[in-house]
Structure 1
Amino acid sequence: MSEEQTVSLVDVLEEDEELEEEASAVLAGSDSDHCSYPQGYVKRQALYACNTCTPKGGQAAGVCLACSYKCHEGHNLFELYTKRNFRCDCGNGKFTDAPCKLFHDKEDVNGLNKYSHNFFGEYCTCGRPYPDPEDQVEDEMIQCVLCEDWLHGRHLGCDVPDGVELQEMICESCMTTNVFLWSYAAHLAVPGGAVQSETVAAKEATSSLRAQTDEAAEPSRKRGRVEGKEGPACRLKALEASGVKRVRSGAVFWPSGWRSELCRCDACQGRLAEAGLSFLPDESDTVLAYENKGKRQEGDAPAPDPLMSALDNLNRVQQLEIIHGYNDMKSELKDFLQTFAAEGKVVTSDDIRQFFELQQSRKRRQVDGRFHCA
């Protein structure tokens, strides 16, 4: 293993803890026991695509969290993270001889569902799988909030800013398709590649983005209040008239709360609806809002401990054997891993296998009936 690829156990444990927390929030925001189909097109939910039932070359389909557990256990699944406004396809006309075990009365096709190459395990503009066994470059993948595809950071056509986990990204393709977004980007997006015209005063260049948009929109607001016949003034028109420009290339990153700055006038709402983007001004549409919901739900109803659930079905002797064995193994594994952490060494799969082989060897040498009832 090369020096660049080597990480310490501490790094692995810290990263694993972050990933576990993120995955837990995603799953907690969806129902793991009941098919989501009766709820219709769910605002946002965890989704999977079954490569076993709907392989590439067939029709794309997505299944909810509960169906991934109950109907597709042991299948080759693609984890899609979350998708918006999607209705579970499990067992419908796209699945040959594979009915849904949780909800039977389903239409053959969910006509409002949107699909992409993600449903066949392909991502980004490069169309590669994730994880990609042939890609040796460590690169974060970021989801576009419009098309919901996942793109490699190096394929975004721009630098990935700091604090990206608190920002939203719109890919270059979606920005180009929805040209009006560039006018918002010049004022609201995370700085990077923005260019102002010569007609904008230097003082405006150093003021906050919020102050720029408020100042630009104020004349139109006053006219709207005076005339009072055409509803609220169009904030987008005011931004377009301000003279602030941004280079129209590459993906665009947006800070938290940017959606609340979008214009709500009738013309802009109509434009969003026509483009299929009516969800965009909704702050609760964000993945962060969905994850926070999952964290709250998980905190309110913690999952039962699998070990304790299993112990409830055993007698006292069996319970003692398992508890002592579990504690011994846990203590020995902790000591084993601490030696690697202390030395900053990498734990390989061979190391873990040898540890458990040693545990099995010791178990076979133990005398049967170690614990007895008093």
Structure 2
Amino acid sequence: MSEQEQTLSLVDVLEEDQELQEEASAVLAGSDAERCSYPQGYVKRQALYACNTCTPKGGQAAGVCLACSYKCHEGHDLFELYTKRNFRCDCGNGKFAGAHCQLFRDKDEVNGLNKYSHNFFGEYCTCCRPYPDPEDQVEDQMIQCVLCEDWLHGRHLGCALPDGAELHEMICQSCMEANDFLWAYVGRPAEIAEAPPVDAGRKRSRADEGAPPPCRLKGLGAGGPPRAPPGAVFWPSGWRSRLCRCRACQGRLSEAGLSFLPDESDTVLAYEKKGEREEAATPVPARDPLMSALSNLDRVRQLEIIHGYNDMKSELKDFLQTFAAEGKVVTSEDIRDFFERQQSRKRRRADGRFHCA
């Protein structure tokens, strides 16, 4: 491999690392890594973790915010829950057997409005398996249901995945069956949005002025459209904004605990966009300092650094894979220990204790 190819491979690695960092920032930048979110109440959406060390299976389900996962549960066996809506941090409350939150002490014993699932014990999908699953050899993607927020394997959704499935919102079969009025929207959200009011043929009187609009779903017929085959439903972009907002439909959504559904800002995509904006607003150096340093060195020194970087990258990958295999969160202490071991090895080489053949 030529020097130019090796230099380009380093650039590619750095760019790939930057992409991964941006993806992580989209999720985590929307949450505070320094302060417990408890004082904010039931946060609209935030990154959450469950501690298998403090609240193992068989006990009460509990979730902790990003900051508490770092400060209060560092070194513990954590399940990463991605994001959940309308959740208040449980860290240190009555579910934690006397253990206190180090970031915010004055907490209620229980957060009664929080919703929990088997995800909080490291189980996902209808198959109730962990993720990652060391016994599952099938390559498959996990997709989150909009309503119950469980993660399901694509092969367990009971339907064919559309092209670009990750760009669609999905409601699982169980949630569709529990909220059967949603079937009226399946297959024709645009028609619903454009459907004229049932009284469009007559002129509105002054008594009608300011009256709430009639239910647009009635324009589709009392029976609604034929039901789709059993299975999950994937929804097109903007479908939430097309849901009927009449008083009766709002009441139905509220009764089902789905008042959030017409809110476009509730979506994970909106949350990630918020995180991206906050990350972009954070000042960063105009140029990557590593690439700037390399450009000022001779070729021999550049290659030495590149080889050292590639060795470190390979070792770091192996180190992180152990955490991924066990589903554990990597803490700042873990990373610090890794680099301290790297420094120790470097010093031993410099002392002549290690020799190359």
Which residue in the other structure is 2:250 paired with?
Answer: 269
Which residue in the other structure is 2:80 paired with?
Answer: 79
Shift in CA distance, 302/55, structure 1 to aligned 2, threshold 3 Å: farther
- Offset, 1:241: 4.7
Which residue in the other structure is 1:139 paired with?
Answer: 140
Shift in CA distance, 359/40, structure 1 to aligned 2, threshold 3 Å: closer
- Offset, 1:249: 1.1
Matched, 1:294 2:275: yes
Which residue in the other structure is 1:228 paired with?
Answer: 208
Matched, 1:366 2:341: no
TM value normalised by structure 1: 0.73
Percent sequence identity is: 70
Whole-angstrom distance in 2 between the partners of 1:303 and 1:53: 37
1:318-365 CA distance string (max 9 Å, x none): xxxxxxxx9877511456699x9xxxxxx9949x9xxxx999777534
- Residues 187 and 213 of structure 1 are in contact (CA less than 8 Å); yes or no, is this contact kept in structure 2? yes
Which of 236, 255, 261 is residue 255 of structure 1 equivalent to? 236
Whole-angstrom distance in 2 between the partners of 1:161 and 1:130: 23
Whole-angstrom distance in 1 between the partners of 2:304 and 2:310: 10
Which residue in the other structure is 2:166 paired with?
Answer: 165
Structure 1 segments unaligned to the other structure (5+ residues): 1-8, 189-209, 309-325, 341-346, 369-374
Matched, 1:332 2:307: yes
SS at match of 2:49: strand
Shift in CA distance, 285/367, structure 1 to aligned 2, threshold 3 Å: same
Structure 1 counterpart of 2:121, one-letter code: F
SS at match of 1:165: helix
SS at match of 2:36: coil
For structure 1, which segment, 158-167 or 228-237, has the greater mean C-alpha deviation from structure 2 after superposition? 228-237
For structure 1, which segment, 232-241 or 39-48, has the greater mean C-alpha deviation from structure 2 after superposition? 232-241
SS at match of 1:233: coil
For structure 1, which segment, 139-148 or 21-30, has the greater mean C-alpha deviation from structure 2 after superposition? 21-30
Whole-angstrom distance in 2 between the partners of 1:276 and 1:330: 57
Whole-angstrom distance in 2 between the partners of 1:85 and 1:224: 43
Whole-angstrom distance in 2 between the partners of 1:11 and 1:151: 33
Which residue in the other structure is 2:105 paired with?
Answer: 104
Which residue in the other structure is 2:265 paired with?
Answer: 284
Whole-angstrom distance in 1 between the partners of 2:140 and 2:239: 26
Structure 2 counterpart of 1:49, one-letter code: A
- Offset, 1:46: 0.3
- Residues 184 and 224 of structure 2 are in contact (CA less than 8 Å); yes or no, is this contact kept in structure 1? no
SS at match of 1:25: helix
Structure 1 counterpart of 2:266, one-letter code: D
- Offset, 1:219: 3.9
- Residues 169 and 236 of structure 2 are in contact (CA less than 8 Å); yes or no, is this contact kept in structure 1? yes
What is the total number of aligned residue pairs between the two structures?
309
Whole-angstrom distance in 1 between the partners of 2:279 and 2:317: 33
Whole-angstrom distance in 2 between the partners of 1:70 and 1:291: 24
Whole-angstrom distance in 1 between the partners of 2:342 and 2:34: 38
Cα RMSD of the aligned pairs, angstroms, is: 3.7
Whole-angstrom distance in 1 between the partners of 2:200 and 2:132: 50
- Residues 186 and 228 of structure 2 are in contact (CA less than 8 Å); yes or no, is this contact kept in structure 1? no
1:232-278 CA distance string (max 9 Å, x none): 01012223458642424110011221100000000000000000000
Shift in CA distance, 96/336, structure 1 to aligned 2, threshold 3 Å: closer
SS at match of 1:180: helix
Whole-angstrom distance in 2 between the partners of 1:303 and 1:97: 42
Structure 1 counterpart of 2:138, one-letter code: V
SS at match of 1:151: strand
Structure 2 segments unaligned to the other structure (5+ residues): 1-9, 290-300, 322-340, 353-357
Whole-angstrom distance in 2 between the partners of 1:36 and 1:186: 39
Whole-angstrom distance in 2 between the partners of 1:108 and 1:156: 37
5 Å matches for 1:1-374? 19-188=20-189, 210=190, 212-214=191-193, 216-222=195-201, 225=204, 228=208, 231-241=212-222, 244-302=225-283, 330-333=305-308, 349=318, 363-366=347-350
Structure 2 counterpart of 1:213, one-letter code: I
For structure 1, which segment, 44-53 or 244-253, has the greater mean C-alpha deviation from structure 2 after superposition? 244-253
